[in-house]
Structure 1
């Protein structure tokens, strides 16, 4: 799985290196930068799937289109993991990611690939305070919406406590003026 995640990340970075007209941060306008607000639904997998039944979260990101096809930005949010009722001692907990987002959009509307990388802070009664995370994704986008599937993994100091989730998300683009 780590090789797959690394390959996806390298693919996104590789797409971005092709010669294109780049924009400077001073060129931010409503055509190349926006705030993304959305929701996500996930199914915990791996060891955490034994204790948590599902995850629901809110996403927020600021994105700048460095080229016509490559976007980068910052991402955060909050995801609540809900404990299974039939597991003694299992409790709800939360995850607050803070990371860098990378996106490749081959066309102005249609398919896209991307990943978020950074650090996730964990809240509640969990074995770790947080860890490095990566969230590769593939989906559909248009001028206003992004709808995508994702895999999220938080690598904690105790590998038995790594948090893995597969899910779907949708974000709405609010243009900067």
Structure 2
């Protein structure tokens, strides 16, 4: 697991080193916060104990180039109980990459990090992966996702859903 995080960190950081050690200039045109909501349907192991999930999404993004972005992502995803089970949650702490084909239109990307499980006994979480594909413009992102937390004890917490984020630009 540690090696996977190291490899991911190097992949994320490589575009920064490719700029010939120029100073990173964070400004409103290349960095912003993204705040949003998600809604999904659990699949796999999670579908046995949960009927649906809702979440909040927090991101900080930096555009390395006009088409390639990196950042950090977190939030909370609540899985509502089904039958006699209890509800639980996933708190992701991840890095992300995104590729924007044009200033407005299609994008794809993925989060990679650790998903902390809440209200689950004997399981703290595991590797968190969240690939996305969607539409973006200057202010909004609308996307579909497949979220998977490869938790301890052979438990996979998976969901498929949609999300929407609003871009808050620095002034």
What range describes the TM-score normalised by the shorter chain of this pair? 0.7 to 0.9
Q: CA RMSD in A?
A: 2.2
- Indicate whether 1:140 and 2:135 are aligned: yes
Counterpart secondary structure, 2:53: strand
Query: Which 5+ residue runs of structure 2 have no aligned equivalent?
Result: 1-10
With the length of structure 2 as denominator, give the TM-score of the two structures.
Answer: 0.86
* 1:131-153 deviation line (CA, Å, top 9, x unaligned): 01100000000000000000000
Q: Which residues in structure 2 correspond to 1:119-158 (within 5 Å)?
A: 119-158=114-153
Counterpart secondary structure, 1:47: helix
Counterpart secondary structure, 2:103: coil
Residue of structure 1 aligned with 2:51, choices 43, 50, 53: 53
* 1:47-91 deviation line (CA, Å, top 9, x unaligned): 21011000000000000000110000000001110001xx22x00
Residue of structure 1 aligned with 2:27, choices 29, 32, 57: 29
Q: CA deviation at 1:176?
A: 1.5
CA distance in 2, matches of 1:45, 1:157: 17
| Number of the residue aligned with 1:42 | 40
Relative to structure 1, the CA distance from residue 42 to residue 22 in structure 2 (aligned partners, 3 Å threshold; closer, same or farther) is farther
Q: Which residues in structure 2 correspond to 1:44-123 (within 5 Å)?
A: 44-84=42-82, 87-88=83-84, 90-123=85-118
Preserved CA contact (<8 Å) 2:32 2:61: yes
CA distance in 2, matches of 1:144, 1:157: 38
- Indicate whether 1:162 and 2:156 are aligned: yes
Counterpart secondary structure, 1:27: coil
CA distance in 1, matches of 2:109, 2:20: 18
